[in-house]
Amino acid sequence: MHNNHLGMSAFQRVALVNVRLESRQRIPVNLLVLAACIKDRTRVTVFDPDPDQGDLRGLVEFQPDLVGISFMTQTALRAKELYDILRAALPSAHFVLGGVGPTVEKEAVFERFRPDAVVVGEGEKTLRRIVDGEPLDQVPGVYRTGRPFTPGEVIWNLDEIPLPAYECMPDFEKYLCPPGGIRGKWFDAGTPMIMTGRGCPYQCTFCSSHLMFTRKVRRRSVDNVLQEIRRLRNEYGIEAVHFLDDTFNAPPSWARNFCEALLREPYRLTWGCQVRVNLFDPDLARLMRKAGCVQVDIGVESGSPKVLKALKKGETPEQTAAAFRAAHEAGIAPMATFLVGCPEETMEDIELTRQLVKRIKPSFSEFYFLIPFPGSELFEQATANGWLKDRSYEGRGMVDRPVMEINFTMEQQVEIRRAYFQLVGWRNLAGFVSLNVLWAMMKSLRPSMVAAALKEFWKTRNLRDAMQAYVHALRAAYGRRAAQQRSQRAAP
């Protein structure tokens, strides 16, 4: 039986591990921030194992005495696999689990994994206290079955949180790779993500964000965010970023102040973010465009007022139409996400959504099946009404098939989604593969990438594997380039 008490001693080597299902890589900003909080106390490294490569050697060779694993509900199964492998390979290490997955299901996760601790909520202060060797029962935010639980401290002043410690990720430069996360554009150094705030005051029934960040909006100071941007530019040559806040324009005054401050900076930055339509207007759109915003992602969900009400979205189709108009007119590409299989949704509501799609002309549209994540109001409704038919979404990442039956069968939902995608087919293609991207792709092609792809195809006769080999070679080439440029910048 593993010792479930960490005792008073501090840890010498901490590994923070991200769990992902796709070979597509995104900088694990949350873990880099956590690393920044403890790097003055211990040696810390952030790992982001590629599920397709399956190589955990670097992590095991690091010989951590504390392993922190981060996952969401939809990556929980992969997290358990990784946990079992690492626990066997590192028998004397201690294990803590954190992230939205453990936070919304702390009891079940503790029972399933039996770790030393589950960290509930924001991890910065809790992890620091664990690393300092405080007895676990005294650390707020630590959950263990059968022990008293005190919620962790909310960090009200976000400027207290240090900037992400990119240097704690051994192959960080590999993440600075084109095309980046802004559709239809190509950035040689990729598009790192920045979080400028936490907390959202809205009540959407499918959302569990408040369990992590509360319903009170907290924003970093504009200057604090600019420091992160300047560092990314000066050290890594970044030209574009993506803001991953739930709602970038809450409150709109913060977004305005940020844009005005950005315009006073001596460089130009290209960026994208997520906005709510009820807080977006033509003036803000124009100002954001002037400050470099080229893409806004908008959770439209439905074209039916009745469905929006059932989801407690707090927005109307009219507001959505006005916001899309404002974005198009300002020259910002508005991207839309919609939900399929909502409560109270009938064929008339689907028709209203189709009409709205035609009216607002999103530059790119995505259609998701509605998933009831634990901790959300929808999850309670789904359980109470017997809507949930399939819980396997815990292992599947991007959710590609329905899991509930409310008014439509699974087959009908698949058909509805297919018809939606048909409606936006060309527009989606144009939003994604612009001439600019095609030209940049051609220019970036290197014989080594083509050779890697051909070799893999020869071996497996599988086009997907060949594409993946190409992408790995591309990342490696850009990673080497970014590392080289970084050392040149650092040289006196």
Looking at 27, 67, 194, 207, which residue binds ligand SF4 (CB under 6 A)?
Answer: 207
DSSP string, 88-133: HH-TT-EEEEESHHHHHTHHHHHHHH--SEEE-S--HHHHHHHHTT
295 burial type by CB count under 10 A (0-12 exposed, 13-18 middle, 19+ buried): buried
> Min. distance of Cβ 291 from ligand B12 in angstroms?
21
Segment interacting with ligand SF4 (CB under 6 A) among 45-53, 68-76, 203-211, 464-472: 203-211
Residues 49-78 touching ligand SF4, rule: CB under 6 A, are none
CA distance 311 to 368: 14
Residue 98 interacting with ligand B12 (CB under 6 A): yes
Tell me if 341 contacts ligand B12 by CB under 6 A: no
Q: At what angle do helices 347-360 and 317-330 cross, to 10 degrees?
A: 20
Task: Pick one of ligand B12, ligand SF4, none as the site partner of residue 228 (Cβ within 5 to 8 A by kind).
Answer: none
Residues 6 or more apart from 447 whose CB is under 8 A from it?
none
**Span near ligand B12 by CB under 6 A; candidates 318-326, 353-361, 395-403, 422-430:** 395-403
Q: Which does 247 bind (CB under 5 to 8 A by kind): ligand B12, ligand SF4, none?
A: ligand SF4
CB of 328 to ligand SF4, least distance (A): 22
Residues between 126 and 145 that touch ligand B12 (CB under 6 A): 127
Q: Does 21 bind ligand B12 (CB under 6 A)?
A: yes
Tell me the C-alpha distance between 407 and 405, whole Å. 6
* Chain centroid to CA 304: 28
Least distance to ligand SF4 from the beta carbon of 259, Å? 21
Picking from 177, 184, 266, the residue whose alpha carbon sits closest to that of residue 229 is 266
Please report whether residue 209 would count as binding ligand B12 according to CB under 6 A. Answer: yes
Partner interacting with residue 75 (select from ligand SF4, ligand B12, none; CB below 5-8 Å by kind): ligand B12
**Partner whose footprint covers residue 142, from ligand SF4, ligand B12, none (CB < 5 to 8 Å by kind):** none
Least distance (Å) from ligand SF4 to the CB of residue 28? Answer: 20
Q: Which of 44, 82, 119, 168 binds ligand B12 (CB under 6 A)?
A: 119
With CB under 5 to 8 Å by kind, the binding choice for 413 among ligand B12, ligand SF4, none is none
Q: Which residues of 312-330 are buried (b: 16+ CB within 10 A; e: fewer)?
A: ebebebebbbbbbbbbbeb
What's the rounded Cα separation, in Å, for the pair 38 and 30?
13
Which residues in the 279-338 window bind ligand SF4 by CB under 6 A?
A: 299
104 near ligand B12, rule: CB under 6 A: yes
**Residue 335 interaction partner, one of ligand SF4, ligand B12, none, beta carbon < 5-8 Å per kind:** none
Placement of tokens 């029934």 in the chain: 205
- Given ligand B12, ligand SF4, none, residue 202, with its beta carbon under 5 to 8 Å by kind, binds ligand SF4
Contact 431, 184 (CB under 8 A): yes
Instruction: Say which residue the tokens 């977006």 belong to.
Output: 280
The DSSP code sequence of 419-461 is HHHHHHHHHHHHHHS-HHHHHHHHHH--HHHHHHHHHHHHHH-
Beta strands in 181-332 (DSSP E): 193-194, 197-198, 218-219, 240-243, 270-275, 293-301
Cα–Cα distance, 376 to 323 (Å, whole number): 27
**How many residues of this chain interact with ligand B12, rule: CB under 6 A?**
39
Regarding 209 and contact with ligand SF4 (CB under 6 A), the answer is yes
User: Contacts with ligand SF4 in 230-289 (CB under 6 A)?
Assistant: 246-247, 276
The binding site for ligand B12 (CB under 6 A) comprises 16, 21-22, 26, 29-30, 33-34, 68, 70, 72-75, 96, 98-101, 103-104, 119, 122-124, 127, 195, 207-209, 212-213, 244, 246, 368, 373, 397-399
Which parts of this chain interact with ligand SF4 (CB under 6 A)?
200, 202, 204, 207, 209, 246-247, 276, 299
